[in-house]
Structure 1
Amino acid sequence: MFNNAAKYSQLIKAEALRLGFMACGISKADFLEEEAPRLETWLNNNRHGEMAYMENHFDKRLDPRLLVEGAKSVVSLTLNYFTPAKQLDSEAPKISKYAYGTDYHTVIKEKLKELLAFINDEIGEVSGRCFVDSAPVMDKAWAQKAGLGWRGKNANLISKDAGSFFFLAELIIDLELEYDKPFVADHCGSCTRCIDACPTDAIVAPYTVDGSKCISYLTIELKNEIPAEFKGKMENWMFGCDICQDVCPWNRFATPHQEPAFEPTHELLQLKKTELVDLTDEVFKQVFKGSAVKRTKFSGLKRNIDFLKPI
């Protein structure tokens, strides 16, 4: 069985790279013992703000065998989204790089389905589920266990080879495979650039982010009004935020993605500040069709843009 496990693992990793994933690592589907107290403390300190769903399925977050019956392996994958492209109007409200192209949920889900189909075709009938940032799966913990990187002081997963501008995804399957060694080194050292650069002081301690203060949370997850205390601190971000990644020295190793679906449209990059300030529902639907920005809905994006206006 061990030889088969090694052979199957190599097959899966090769196919993952062929499908366009940047890296693939595999870990044993087991209880995340170290994560349990961390998650409990984070929730007890209300670091999740209004993201009430973070309190749900506590056990499932920590044990993939509760998500997939008979689960043996967690296949962790990364997909690059880095782009040197920028919005042309430097004064226009900003969008996080990850939302420039087609919604990543759609793109990655298709790739995961192809990978699962490949496993069934080449190895045999395997039960499993695909996960892309939309279920109680602790993707950073699994990626680190699979040897794909370490969690930086901004709580993002960082790779020595590629920085941190990548998505995380998982296949949880009932197939025994060869498991990678976890990534145990921490290559942040004494650097505090992400902590120093965060305009809302969301990184409350090294490796701990208060989600309720994060610009990404405020512009996407928060459904109510943005608290007045953040007025003048948003650095012109209307959807997401890249600050803690832009200043991270490891992102000097980020290279442009090769995923056509993530290419930004000219319409999006050419939006002027005036067009965004006077954004209409019609333009919103046209420019952000198929984009992750649709998560905020027109009303949410308009709220964010209005909040950025000087008093």
Structure 2
Amino acid sequence: MNTEKADKYANIIKTQAKSLGFDFCGIAKADFLEEEAPKLEAWLNQNYHGKMGYLANHFDKRLDPRLLVDGAKTVVSLIYNHFPVKEIPSGPEDLKLAKYAYGEDYHFVIKDKLKTFLQHLREEIGEIDGRAFVDSAPVMERQWAQKAGLGWQGKNSLLLNRTMGSFFFLAELIIDLEVSPDPPMVKDYCGTCTRCIDACPTDAIVQAGVVDGSKCISYFTIELKEEIPQEVKGKFENWVFGCDICQDVCPWNRFSKPHQEQRFLPHPDLAAFTRKDWEEITLETFQKVFKNSPLKRAKFDGLKRNIDFLVKK
């Protein structure tokens, strides 16, 4: 590796990331994630992925980015804030949405930025082969972010950053350019805290850093396409789409600051939604208020199922 060139490329990448509104940018060498292979295999063997069959696919690609991008040399990890300017009313009776779902679907917002990112890099550096990823392919994003020094994996398995907690999206560029890597984050700053484990109403965090996805409220309200099992009735604490409990109780999220992304702002009607509005939601309202929203993933029927599960005795 030409160190001078690799350092120069790292500076260009980080400058571009900042100009596009990313809060943090870290760089790691594209390699096989040796330590993660047995962990991933054990997690799948325990059926912690539930009905999310796609998580068992492309095992090799999940562990080696060079199988996703020919000649890949570098994984650029990025953090993009989504902590809301203002929480949508969440009184004891209100139904609740995960904060990331207040505005436009992050896949659209961040993918647009990553396309611009790659284009700018090609203009400044020359021909680069690479792909952009936003939670949309078999990339172990939290592990790559940790290798790039952006944070550590908390007991709730999410990436935690000492400056901003965990209310952010992760994204990656995998490119065939040699770039000076950042030192990995090796320290775990959770210490003896178990607030996330203690607060989870469905006991989805089975041990520090390991989540049984098939017990998570987000899984039941988004991923599960069939009826929600009766044994979790009364345990959802009014979460109608996703869940933020393990993040809301995390002490590191006291450092969260509101995002600056207009596209993440909630639809004006959503900001005033009452429990009655949720209970009486029509397809027309759903299509108007949640146009281009992450809630499209659950679809109208899925959302209605979630609402009925919460409100019906």
Question: Which of the five TM-score ranges fits, normalised by the shorter chain?
Answer: over 0.9
In structure 1, how many angstroms separate the alpha carbons of the residues matched to 2:155 and 2:84?
23
Candidates 217, 220, 232, aligned match of 1:218: 220
SS of the aligned residue for 1:134 comes to coil
CA offsets per residue over residues 190-226 of structure 1, 9 Å max, x none? 0000000001100011111000000011100111111
SS of the aligned residue for 1:143 comes to helix
Q: Could you say which residue in structure 1 is the equivalent of 2:311?
A: 309
The 5-angstrom pairing of residues 151-162 of structure 1 reads 151-162=153-164
SS of the aligned residue for 2:170 comes to strand
In structure 2, how many angstroms separate the alpha carbons of the residues matched to 1:264 and 1:23?
24
Q: Could you say which residue in structure 1 is the equivalent of 2:115?
A: 113
SS of the aligned residue for 1:238 comes to strand
After TM superposition, the score normalised by the length of structure 1 is: 0.99
SS of the aligned residue for 1:180 comes to coil
Q: Could you say which residue in structure 2 is the equivalent of 1:53?
A: 54
Greater than 4 Å deviation, 4+ residue runs:
none
In structure 2, how many angstroms separate the alpha carbons of the residues matched to 1:270 and 1:95?
13
Q: How many residues align?
A: 311
In structure 2, how many angstroms separate the alpha carbons of the residues matched to 1:310 and 1:245?
27
CA offsets per residue over residues 41-95 of structure 1, 9 Å max, x none? 0000000000000010000000000000000000000000001412236222110
The 5-angstrom pairing of residues 128-139 of structure 1 reads 128-139=130-141
Offset of 1:310 from its aligned partner?
Answer: 4.4
Any unmatched runs of 5+ in structure 1? none
CA offsets per residue over residues 133-186 of structure 1, 9 Å max, x none? 010000000000000000000000000011000000000000000001110000
Any unmatched runs of 5+ in structure 2? none
AA of the residue aligned to 1:72? K
Calculate the aligned-residue CA RMSD, in Å.
0.8
In structure 2, how many angstroms separate the alpha carbons of the residues matched to 1:20 and 1:293?
24
Candidates 188, 193, 196, aligned match of 2:195: 193
Cα pair distance change 1:89/1:235, threshold 3 Å? closer
Q: Could you say which residue in structure 1 is the equivalent of 2:74?
A: 73
After TM superposition, the score normalised by the length of structure 2 is: 0.98
SS of the aligned residue for 2:66 comes to helix
In structure 2, how many angstroms separate the alpha carbons of the residues matched to 1:129 and 1:88?
39
In 2, are the aligned partners of 1:133 and 1:169 still within 8 Å (CA)? yes
Identity %: 64
SS of the aligned residue for 2:6 comes to helix
Determine whether 1:261 maps to 2:270: no
Candidates 148, 162, 165, aligned match of 1:163: 165
Q: Could you say which residue in structure 2 is the equivalent of 1:22?
A: 23
The 5-angstrom pairing of residues 199-278 of structure 1 reads 199-278=201-280
